[in-house]
Amino acid sequence: MAILKILQYPDERLHTVAAPVAQVTDKIRLLIKDLAETMYAAPGIGLAATQVDVHERVIVIDTSETHDQLLVLINPEIIASNGLSDYEEGCLSVPGIYGKVQRAESIAVRALNTEGESFVLNADGLLAVCIQHEMDHLAGKVFVEYWSRLKQARTLARLKKKQRSAM
């Protein structure tokens, strides 16, 4: 297992649309282990393969307080959603930046597990938000792109300033 480098916004590779996983192989299972290790080390509650420059439809999530309830979603697809709420979000690819995004309150998602078996998961609250956030990454979208152009520009300026001071 390895801790992978997380791409930082505005890296253009974050806008790459991920391809469906054709078959769940040992290579995909290794990617999942690496994604989980990277997410836990960051620390975060979700990570999409796109964020580590692997453009396949794979997500890992763990919203538990004990960090021992890993959820793996391969080729996730939202099949139902209900309600709308504003949630305060952050992102490992946009460190230190938080803001509200409107998301569905509850969702049903169909995906494959690590054995390649299809399942349906009903989620609400933080888990529903996290799934939608990570699925956006697979579609090449970062949460700050829901904001106004002005707020995006200010965010980008803050990130660039932070990067310059880190050098």
Of 70, 132, 71, nearest in space to 107 by CA = 132
Contacts of 116 (CB under 8 A, 6+ apart): 23, 24, 74
The pair of structure tokens assigned to 131 is: 């799934």
Q: Six-digit token pair at 139?
A: 């579609």
Indicate if 65 belongs to the active site.
no
Structure tokens at 49: 């393969």
Q: How far is CA 89 from the centre of its chain?
A: 11
Strands 118-124 and 71-91, how do they pair?
unpaired
What CA–CA distance (Å, rounded) separates 85 from 142?
Answer: 18
Could you say which of 56, 88, 115, 134 is catalytic? 134
Q: Which two tokens stand for residue 87?
A: 């949630």
Instruction: Enumerate residues 6+ apart whose C-beta is below 8 A from 115.
Output: 24
Active site residues: 134
